[in-house]
Each structure stands twice: as structure tokens, then as C-alpha cells.
Amino acid sequence: MMDTRRNITLLGGSALALSLALSGCTTAEPAASTTTAIETPSSSPSATPEESASVGIVREYLAAIVAEDSASAWALLTPEAQSFYGGDPEVYASWFANDGVTSPEEASAFADVDVTETEGPEGAFTLVSAQTETAADAWIVRETDTGPLIDDAGIPTTGGSLYEWRNPSSGAEDSSESGAFDLQQPASLFFASPQSFDSDTPSTIGYPDTVWAYVDGDEVPAELGPASDAGRVFEVTSDTLPADGAPHALTIVWQVGEDSLGWRSTTTLLVP
């Protein structure tokens, strides 16, 4: 993996435009976050008494990815995440580790690092974040009728409402080499307007007008900038970031749509 969350080639038409600014977005009080050591168990990957159910299921998910066990990973996804693959585990298996989600190498690297848990808006989800010196990722754990499951659908290569990071310039999910983060500019993520694509394919990621931003698991303000025919603009200002010169993980989370319970996230590593 490169120096951010996931690695996939962004195919299809022109990219969406939406820019994140880490400055005064209308957000609730930042949710408190907690840090938990996540370790690969020698036997069962289920949660231990010292960790939450959210961390336990993420650990189980990472263990399945390391083992390249698509069936076990599939069982841990929400129905909304599964719908990205047409609800077909065989389609998921054919895309496994090549659809923009965490690769086996990344999952192995994240297995022994501390993770941070942050409650989402109004308790809609728990964000579990992990980071190394060269990579970062986060997983949305959501309570369902059958217990906690993970919203972690792949990255669409065609259709409307694609997105990509512009600062740093790492594409949708590390689809290109990321340059250094420009501290003089807001961190920026772009979503194209659905009307900017000549496609009948329904969007699987939505076209959000509100996003939630997290730096190293701590919620920070995110602002929706001026809209254009090409897309929307969100910005996250650099004065919200720790000024220590170290890499920091920035995760953006949004709801897929008003009629969907599903959420999506994208994480990039900000390297000054």
C-alpha cells in the first residue's frame, strides 16, 4: 500500500469534485475517543473482556483478510455493504482484496497497533481507526438487527458520484502515489456531481451535503464549500491538525443516502 488507506485503480469517467476543509463545519461536540491495543489472537478472534465489541469485530475482520478468507469477511459486512456486490458472496470473493478495501498486507500491519474508537453522530456508528507510520485506515461498525457489522464496501470504478483526494493527491483510496500534504491548503476530497457523468448506473456512494471528519480518531470540523456544476467542495483547514510534523490520519465519513442505512468512509495519511 502507499501511504494512505487503500489501494485501487480509479477507472471510468471524470472524477467528482468535492473538497474538504478542516474548518468550521456545523458539527456537534466532538465525540470522545478511546484507544485500545488490537492484537491478533492465537485462537478465537472474538472480543476479549478488555476490548469493545466494535474492536473485536474489526480484529476478526482483519484476521479474515490476512487469511484471505473472503467467506468469513463477507459474514462481517452489513447488508448495505454487501449490496455493493449485488448481495453475492461469489462476486465479493472475485473482488476480494482488489476492490479498494484493506489488503492482506495492510491488515497484517494493523493487527498489532493501538486502535482508536470514536462514536459517530447520534451514535449512528462507531469508527475504529488504526495507523502505522506509512498507512492509515478506519472501519465503520454499525449496530444491526443481528449485532454489530462493518460498513466497508468497495470503491466503484464506474457510475456517478465518484470521489478522490486532492490534498494530498492520493486518488480515491491510494489509487495514485500521494505527495506531501500541503499545509498551506485545506485537506481536500472531491465528489463529482451525479449530473457530471453520462451514466445510467445508480450511485453506490451517494452525493453528501454533510460529512464528518476525524484526525487520528478525534472529530474535527468539516465545512461544505461552494457548489459547482462539477461537484461540491468540503475543506478541512490545517490549523485543526497537530503541528508536530508527524503523519496524521484523516478520515471522512458520510451517509450514502437518506433512504439507506449505509455509511462510507475514506482515509488518507497526511504527511507534511
pLDDT score at 36: 55
Whole-prediction pTM: 0.79
The domain limits of the chain are 33-270
pLDDT score at 177: 53
Instruction: Answer for the pair 24, 223: CB distance below 8 angstroms, yes or no.
Output: yes
pLDDT score at 28: 43
Cell of 165: 483526494
Helices then strands (H, E): number in the chain? Answer: 5, 13
pLDDT score at 203: 66
Query: Could you give the CA distance from residue 225 to residue 22 in angstroms, rounded to a whole number?
Result: 11
pLDDT score at 118: 98
pLDDT score at 110: 95
Pairing status of strand 188-192 against strand 136-144: unpaired
Neighbouring-strand partners of residue 248: 270
DSSP readout, 5-63?
S------SSPPPB---BSS-----SPPPEEEEE----SS--SPPTTS-HHHHHHHHHHH
Query: Each residue's pLDDT tens digit in the chain (272 positions)?
Result: 433 333 333 333 333 333 433 333 444 445 556 655 544 443 344 445 588 999 999 999 999 999 999 999 999 999 999 998 999 999 999 888 776 778 899 999 998 899 999 999 999 999 999 999 888 999 999 999 999 999 998 876 555 557 888 889 876 654 445 567 888 889 999 888 877 766 666 667 888 989 999 999 999 999 987 778 888 888 998 788 778 888 899 999 999 888 889 999 999 998 87
First to last CA, the chain: 18
Given the C-alpha cell 471510468, which residue does it identify?
12
Phi and psi torsions of 107, nearest 5°: -60, -40
Phi and psi torsions of 229, nearest 5°: -65, -30
